[in-house]
Amino acid sequence: MSLPGDSLQRMTEIDFHFNTPDKLACACTLMRKATEHGVRMLVIAPVERLAAIDAALWQGPATDFVTHCTDDAPPSMRSRSAVLILAAGRPLGGHGSDRRLLVNLAEPVPIGFEGFEQLIDIVSTDDADRRAGRPRWQHYSQRGYALRRHDHRQATV
């Protein structure tokens, strides 16, 4: 017998960051802030950006280091890394089982984002990136997700 509310799932919280002058810098700042609070996350990015994300997370003082690796790292490394970086288009599979936050730096809506507590979608000031971000916004909005807007033209991360 099920009780009322048993089947209710909490909807993924979606933060839409747009007009970011530097998409990668914004993502790294958000990753550092989240990991300071013990949040584990999955980052989805185009395959050609994976090395840049890795390099950016190695920058800065040692006290700001974010443990990270790609999904092809050995299981022991993946389990100890706060950030798991996954190429866009690859299935999320079980990667989200112990990760609450999904950061999207890729063009398509990440399939399976609903399995995360929170999604951060980042859009730069680049015209092509802005055009690619609009369908994602519409996708989330049409499905009833409340979108929290973060306009980086008006404020900083």
Distance from C-alpha of 129 to C-alpha of 152, rounded to nearest angstrom: 15
| pTM score | 0.88
Q: Calculate the alpha carbon distances from 113 to 12, 61, 76, 108, 119 in Å.
A: 8, 32, 24, 11, 7
pLDDT digits (tens, 9 = 90+) for 98-147: 788 999 999 999 988 988 999 999 999 999 999 999 999 999 999 999 89
Mean pLDDT within 77-95: 85
pLDDT of residue 91: 75
Distance from C-alpha of 81 to C-alpha of 59, rounded to nearest angstrom: 17
Token pair of 150, please? 């973060």
pLDDT of residue 97: 66
pLDDT of residue 90: 81
